[in-house]
């Protein structure tokens, strides 16, 4: 019996799409998530596609309703791609993400390339060298370079070099340049490194 209930629940038919239902869905989504206008458009279009499989839905008409809805939200300030990109970029930088990682993350959220470029420029003017600040935050979080736990000196040079290579590789995988990664890993004084900001 419970298996039958589960199957019935999975086959729930979506409601027909209307201007009101799209508006409600968009407001609900915006209440839960910060997003770009293009990402919201894609979320709503997926909703339309699900409904179109079960109902006679005019996809083109719904796409036009979504465009009008997003235009209205942009004009009212409910959606703001620039503010979204800046907030997300600053947050990612504080969490130790490189500019390359921030650019990729914003691209995945369908933020236009010109807004991404302007965001990274504005963040660099505000915070200084973005990658250095992010690399320091990443090293602090992962305990790399001068933030590693003080331990007994390694028994041999090979183990020490292998540990340094692992730290360099971790920074490189996170999108930091070799020069910056080497600077972080070889730093001995935390204050000197953080004062470089």
Q: Is residue 49 part of a domain?
A: yes
Residue 182 counted as domain residue: yes
Give the chain's domain count. Answer: 3
- Which one of 76, 98, 118 terminates a domain? 76
Q: Is 141 found in the same domain as 100?
A: no
HSE-CB of 107 using CA atoms within 13 angstroms: 8
Confidence bin at 12 (pLDDT 50/70/90): confident
Statement: residue 187 has pLDDT above 60: yes
Shared-domain flag, residues 35 and 15: yes
> Do 105 and 144 lie in a common domain?
no
- 118/121 Cα distance (integer angstroms): 5
Residue at 108 is within a domain: yes
72 and 37, same structural domain? yes
Answer yes or no: are the C-beta atoms of 115 and 82 closer than 8 Å.
yes
23 in any annotated domain: yes
Last residue of a domain, one of 89, 106, 128: 128
pLDDT digits (tens, 9 = 90+) for 15-63: 888 899 999 999 999 999 999 999 999 999 999 998 888 888 788 999 9
Domain end (from 113, 128, 143): 128
Among positive and negative, which fits the CA dihedral 125, 126, 131, 133?
positive
Q: Which domain holds residue 101?
A: 81-128
Identify whether 3 is part of a domain.
no
- A 10 A CB-CB count for 50 gives 15
Residue with tokens 């600053």: 90
162 lies in the same domain as 173:
yes
pLDDT, residue 162, reads 86
Angstrom distance (rounded) from CA 109 to CA 100: 15
Lowest mean pLDDT among 35-49, 61-75, 154-168, 169-183: 154-168
At residue 17, the 3 state secondary structure works out as coil
Q: Decide if 1 is inside a domain.
A: no
Q: In this structure, how many other beta carbons lie within 10 angstroms of the beta carbon of residue 175? A: 18
**In terms of domains, do 53 and 42 share one?**
yes
DSSP 163: H
Q: Give the pLDDT of residue 135.
A: 92
The H or E element that residue 10 is part of is: helix 2-10
Both 115 and 170 in one domain: the answer is: no
Q: Do the domain assignments include residue 96?
A: yes
Whether residue 26 is contained in a domain is answered as yes
Domain co-membership, 135 together with 124: no
Contact by Cβ (8 Å): 11, 54:
no
- pLDDT tens digits for range 91-107: 999 999 999 999 999 99
Q: Token digits for 76?
A: 């009212």
Is the same domain home to 124 and 135?
Answer: no
Residue 84: phi and psi, rounded to 5, are -60, -45
List phi, psi (to 5°) of 76.
-80, -15
- Are residues 140 and 185 located together in one domain of the fold? yes
Instruction: Judge if 164 and 108 occupy the same domain.
Output: no
Task: Assess whether 136 and 124 both reside in one domain.
Answer: no
DSSP letter at 154?
P
Cα(190)–Cα(87) distance, integer angstroms: 28
Confidence band, pLDDT 50/70/90 cuts, at residue 159: confident
């Amino acid at each position: 019996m419970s298996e039958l209930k589960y199957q019935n629940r999975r086959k729930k038919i979506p409601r027909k799409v209307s201007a009101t239902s799209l508006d409600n869905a968009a407001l609900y989504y915006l209440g839960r998530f910060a997003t770009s206008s293009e990402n919201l458009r894609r979320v709503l279009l997926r909703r339309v596609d699900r409904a179109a499989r079960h109902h006679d839905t005019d996809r083109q008409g719904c796409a036009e309703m979504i465009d009008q809805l997003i235009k209205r939200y942009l004009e009212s300030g409910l959606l703001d791609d620039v503010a979204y990109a800046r907030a997300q970029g600053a947050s990612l930088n504080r969490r130790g993400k490189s500019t390359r990682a921030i650019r990729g993350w914003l691209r995945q959220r369908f933020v236009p390339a010109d807004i991404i470029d302007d965001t990274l420029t504005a963040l660099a003017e505000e915070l200084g060298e973005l990658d250095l600040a992010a690399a320091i935050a990443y090293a602090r979080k992962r305990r790399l370079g001068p933030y590693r736990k003080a331990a007994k000196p390694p028994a041999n040079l090979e183990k020490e070099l292998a540990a340094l290579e692992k730290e360099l590789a971790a920074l490189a995988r996170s999108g930091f340049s070799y020069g910056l990664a080497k600077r972080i890993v070889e730093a001995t004084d935390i204050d000197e490194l953080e004062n470089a900001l």
